[in-house]
Amino acid sequence: MQIRTLFFWSSLFFLAACSKPSELGLSLVEQDPANIIYTDSLSLDLQTVLTDPLTSSARTRWICGSYLDPIFGKTEAGLYANFRLTSSNASFPNASFDSLVLSLAYDSVGHYGGNISQLGVQEWQVYRLTEDIDPDEDYSADTEFLTGDLLADFSFIPKVNESVSVDDAALDPQLRIRLADSLGQYLMQPDSAIYSSNSVFKEAFKGVYIRPKTNGQQSAILRFLSESAYSKLTLYYTDSAGVAQSYDYLMDDDAESVLNISHDYSNTTVLQNNSSDSIVYLQGMNGLGVRLAFPHLANLGAIIVNKAELVIQLAEEQDRNFPAPDQLFCLEKTSTDGYLLIDDVTSSVNLNPSDPFRLFGGLLSYDGDQAYFAMNLSEYLQRLVDQETEEAALYIQTAAITDTERMRIGNGQASSLQAKLFLTYTKID
């Protein structure tokens, strides 16, 4: 999906409280309360759909890794990235190479696939890129670049909350990967012209591809901070005076990155899903969305929508290894722009920039032990009634491509935990 508006907010984590169905919105029109009609029995058809490839370049978060979900199948994510110079015209006269280390700063949240404090061995690889990442191109999550030499084949146990000791200094949690000495030696003794500018350097060294090893041990998708000072490539060397030195190649600002994400649902039933089933499936990381249609909305005739609140419920108890998303969004499909956030989301952000999703909702909430999401659809439902949309449906998905969570939802046809629309409206004669 090309979602123009969504990605401006995809890196925000302003999560606001939402409420059960309420009388909010009744003041939108002046009318006799006797003419106000309330219903919670309007039919809803929810169906699992594949999300179109989302833009995955220039993310503020990265994801990498692989895991096998007993319900949703296999998910795999890799990272293409290049580097920028710390300073131009770097040189290493009469210096000796020590090592070349790629470091990726762990995010504090967003790791997925198991108990984060007890994750098992992960087996990853790093390859050298042989194809340019164009800084002016928007790449989608199914993009693949050409790669060359294997730079690292390694295993590790993620320690996402533990500091790392480097040269007797305690640094923020990070994954550190030693790359092939041959690349470090090349970077120390190249044609000095490659350090003249970032563009020249990136032409000479196009970057790396970090990915889970095929058929290797995997149990999690890990999330990293792209703009952290600890996400970088570091060349360690000893100068001509015998003093240990280092030079950093950074991954922020003038560097590019692209996520490559794939899902294998072949051994699952998640796509064998239709609007009559009691369960629908939703997954982040450019996986699965939910299409919601209102097959009998037209039977209401001409109405003014005072308040329309959609409530969807998790169809199972929360699994600590596979928790549900924190935030959901709703989108509409257009023939020209792909998928755009519905009016209720954009209005919520525009009216409350300091608390952008308060009016829309979409936040994971609880009624006792039952988890649910409540979303205000008043503006969009009015457009559906007035036949101003290109499709008589909306689409529900996670807020960002790097949201790793998944869940099962009760459909409108379910015998319990049904999705419901709580609608208050006025009939127009």
Which of 208, 227, 255 is the endpoint of a domain?
255
Query: Length of the chain in residues, anyone?
Result: 429
Domain that holds residue 38: 6-54+268-427
Rounded to an integer, the average pLDDT of 232-251 is 95
Task: Quote the pLDDT of residue 75.
Answer: 95
Residues 123 and 235 in one domain: yes
Tell me, yes or no, whether 29 and 65 share the same domain: no
Task: Out of 194, 222, 255, pick the residue that ends a domain.
Answer: 255
Q: What is the largest CA-CA distance in the chain?
A: 91
Out of 33-37, 155-159, 282-286, 323-327, least confident range: 33-37
pLDDT of residue 15: 30
**Domain shared by 302 and 322, yes or no:** yes
Q: What is the model's pLDDT at position 409?
A: 92
Q: Is residue 406 part of a domain?
A: yes
The predicted model scores a pTM of 0.87
CA distance 145 to 336: 28
Confidence of residue 114 (pLDDT cuts 50, 70, 90): confident
145 within domain boundaries: yes
User: Are both 243 and 360 inside the same structural domain?
Assistant: no
Last residue of a domain, one of 222, 255, 288: 255
Q: Percent of the chain, pLDDT > 70? A: 91
pLDDT at 426 over 80: yes
21/137: higher pLDDT: 137
Q: Do 361 and 417 belong together in one domain?
A: yes
3-state secondary structure the chain: CCCCCHHHHCCCCCCCCCCCCCCCCHHHCCCCHHHEEEECCCCCEEEEEECCCCECECCCEEEEEEEEECCCEEEEEEEEECCEECCCCCCCCCCEEEEEEEEEEECCCCCECCCHHHCCCEEEEEEEECCCCCCCCCCECCCCCCEEEEEEEEEECCCCCCCEEECCEEECCEEEEECCHHHHHHHHCCCHHHHCCHHHHHHHCCCEEEEECCCCCCCEEEEEECCCCCCEEEEEEECCCCCEEEEEEECCCCCCEEEEEEEECCCCCCCCCCCCCCEEEEECCCCEEEEEECCCHHHHCCEEEEEEEEEEEECCCCECCECCCCEEEEEEEECCCEEEECHHHHHHHHHCCCCCCCCCEEEEEEECCEEEEEEECHHHHHHHHCCCCCCCEEEEEECCCCCCCEEEEECCCCCCCCCEEEEEEEECC
User: pLDDT at residue 338 above 70?
Assistant: yes
Whether 21 shows a pLDDT value over 80: the answer reads: no
Q: What is the pLDDT of residues 150-175, one digit of tens each?
A: 999 999 999 999 999 998 889 999 99
The reported pLDDT for the residue numbered 3 is 42
Indicate whether 167 and 88 sit together in one domain.
yes
Pair (355, 235) in one structural domain: no
Q: Is residue 120 part of a domain?
A: yes
How much is the pLDDT for 122?
93
